[in-house]
Amino acid sequence: MQGKMFGFEGVKRAAVVGALCVLMAACAQTRPELAGGANNIAAGTTQDFSVNVGDRIYFLNDQTSLSADAQAVLNKQAQWLKAFPSYKVTIEGHADERGTRQYNIALGARRAAATKDYLVARGVSAQRINTISYGKERPVAVCNAETCWSQNRRAVTVLTSTGS
């Protein structure tokens, strides 16, 4: 099955979704199976990517390893990107505010690199992927609690050129 081909642990959920698709093109046309959403968003749009695939993954405090949940999201991202090859992406690495600035810049870069490496291993061309780190400079959640910090420790895959 496809799950074995992936050769990674923690991708079982993604493998089940992927197993429904025989061809990538077919998956793209039957968006719900590919992206897991049942809505009116057109397949292959940036909205499709962010809503039905998921544009971001999260990390544990001071960690750069990819959790099972993160790998599941990245598996879907890889399938989607292979289905819509005209897109390029920039992966933004971020850290929470509970570290020092320079280290967090490097930590964000590591998270972006780990994300890129995973997508490349899933078959997305490295030529399509840029990375950038914002360290702790671009939080999305601003409360003073782990519930917010955990949302900020993220890697976001941003589509950078329009698909046709």
Q: Which residues bind another protein (CB under 8 A)?
A: 64, 97-103, 105-107, 109-110, 113-114, 132-135, 137-144
Structure tokens at 121: 């291993």
**50 burial via Cβ count (<10 Å: 0-12, 13-18, 19+):** middle
CB 59 within 8 A of CB 155: yes
Nearer to another protein, 30 or 160 (CB): 160
CB of 42 to another protein, least distance (A): 28
3-state percent breakdown (helix, strand, coil) of the chain, nearest 5: 50, 15, 40
Tell me how far, at minimum, the Cβ of 23 lies from another protein, in Å.
33
Cβ distance to another protein smaller for residue 19 or 132:
132
Helix ranges restricted to H, the chain: 2-6, 12-19, 24-29, 31-35, 46-47, 68-83, 101-121, 146-152
Q: Which is nearer to another protein, 18 or 139 (CB)?
A: 139
Q: How far is the CB of 94 from another protein (least distance, A)?
A: 12
Which residue, 28 or 66, has its beta carbon nearer to another protein?
66
Query: What is the smallest separation between the CB atom of 73 and another protein, expressed in angstroms?
Result: 20
